[in-house]
Amino acid sequence: MRLPLEMLIEKYQKNLFAAALNICANYDDAQDAVQETFLQYYLSDKEFNDEEHLKAWLLRVAINKAKDLSRSLFRRRCVPLEELGEDIPFEDPADGRLFEEVMRLPEKYRIVIHLFYYEDLPVKEIAALLHTGESSVKMRLSRGRDLLKTILTEESDNDKSGTIQAYI
């Protein structure tokens, strides 16, 4: 099965952008990775078993494109973390801090954390998507959480709002 490009953009652009951003840490590159992903779908004749299969393919291609871009010698300038979260209308200030701390994680932890929490994927599917072992995914997930916990706990010592610990 295949779906019209318009429908895929409507349904999945945000998912792909969020995943690519976790690799690139750069809005322009993430946008390019998503555009390249949809272009690859359009140029491909690949048939999919179902929509879940199609979404997994889109995510894998977007992650791959984002990695290519982030490793390109001609990649866009690195955006300081402080700028990355600027002017985003977060519903709660704690969301802004969560975003900044997630983006501060090493990429290999960040993408696993993202696929787990945002895409709600089980470890097995994350491993298949990233073409790595389940034990490696579990390790990255655990270390990523530990790093978030350390950073946020340290910050919470200075910020007594008491909300930050809830991320752990």
- The residues binding another protein (CB under 8 A) are 4-6, 9, 13-14, 17-18, 21, 27, 30-31, 34-36, 38-40, 42-44, 46, 57, 61, 63-64, 67-69, 71-74, 85, 87-91, 94-96, 98-99, 102, 114, 117-118, 120, 130-133, 135-136, 166-168
Least gap, CB of 60 to another protein (angstroms): 8
Question: What string of DSSP letters covers the chain?
Answer: ----HHHHHHHHHHHHHHHHHHHH--HHHHHHHHHHHHHHHHH-----SSHHHHHHHHHHHHHHHHHHHHH-TTPPPPPPHHHHTTT---SSHHHHHHHHHHHHS-HHHHHHHHHHHTS---HHHHHHHHTS-HHHHHHHHHHHHHHHHHHHHHHHHH-TTS-GGGG-
Length of the chain: 168
Pick the closer one to another protein by CB: 63 or 123: 63
Least gap, CB of 148 to another protein (angstroms): 10
Pick the closer one to another protein by CB: 51 or 94: 94
Least gap, CB of 21 to another protein (angstroms): 7
Least gap, CB of 158 to another protein (angstroms): 20
Pick the closer one to another protein by CB: 75 or 157: 75
